[in-house]
Amino acid sequence: MEYFAHETAIIDEGCTIGAGSKIWHFSHIMPNCTLGENCNIGQNVVISPEVILGNNVKVQNNVSIYTGVICEDDVFLGPSMVFTNVINPRSAVNRRGQYSKTTVKHGASIGANATIVCGHDIGRFAFIGAGAVVTKHVPDYALVVGNPAKQIGWMSEFGHRLEFDEAGVAVCAESTEKYKLEDNKVIKL
């Protein structure tokens, strides 16, 4: 076996799990999911049918990832964060097949206890603060916090807040990579 699954984990039929991935205690990977290489699925995680996780996705304990979610490579999902997949759920109304899609793009991080309301994509290297409730699309490199989540700044690919000078240039404190802010969009130089 090229991946590790704790004896209490349940992996349903039709799943593809990449080499080096680890699935920990009491987690349930439901039918037809795809997990890339070197993923880490913490304990008590539920991954619903047909979810796709890229390579090196880190899913912390008690996370729920529902059908319709795609996480690209290097995504971090913090403890107890949750996605939704129906915009108007009712117990007495079956809305299977009406799931809204959500894509979490390459390198994004979602903090502990955050909620991502379905149909709202998270941009590349975006940073969602702990407890945030995301109700709209989040741009690449954006830092959002609160309920509802509001953008309060920009983050580097190494997870440091970017401070832009009068020329619209910022330098990451850790990597020394440079970023440019132009027309309310950030690009790495």
Mean pLDDT for the stretch of residues 67-83: 97
CATH of the domain at 59: 2.160.10.10
Whether residues 118 and 166 share a domain: the answer is no
| Token output for 74 | 């290097």
Mean pLDDT for the stretch of residues 137-151: 98
pLDDT at 1 over 70: no
| Token output for 14 | 């039709």
- Residue 142 main-chain phi, psi, to 5 deg: -75, 145
Mean pLDDT for the stretch of residues 47-64: 97
| Token output for 182 | 């132009």
Whether residues 84 and 167 share a domain: the answer is no
User: How many folded domains does the chain comprise?
Assistant: 2
Dist CA 33 CA 179 (whole Å): 36
Whether residues 166 and 126 share a domain: the answer is no
Dist CA 124 CA 184 (whole Å): 15
Range of the domain at 15: 1-155
Asked whether the whole model's pTM tops 0.85, one would answer yes
Whether residues 48 and 120 share a domain: the answer is yes
- Residue 37 near residue 21 (C-beta atoms within 8 A): yes
Whether residues 7 and 43 share a domain: the answer is yes
| Amino acid 188: pLDDT | 97
Mean pLDDT for the stretch of residues 15-24: 97
> What region, left, alpha or beta, does residue 164 occupy, with left being phi > 0 and alpha being psi -120 to 50 degrees?
beta
Whether residues 144 and 173 share a domain: the answer is no
Among the ranges given (27-31, 93-97, 106-110, 134-138), the one the predictor scored with the smallest mean pLDDT: 93-97
- Residue 34 near residue 48 (C-beta atoms within 8 A): no
CA 160 to chain centre: 18
- Return the closest-CA partner of residue 25 out of 54, 51, 48, 46: 46
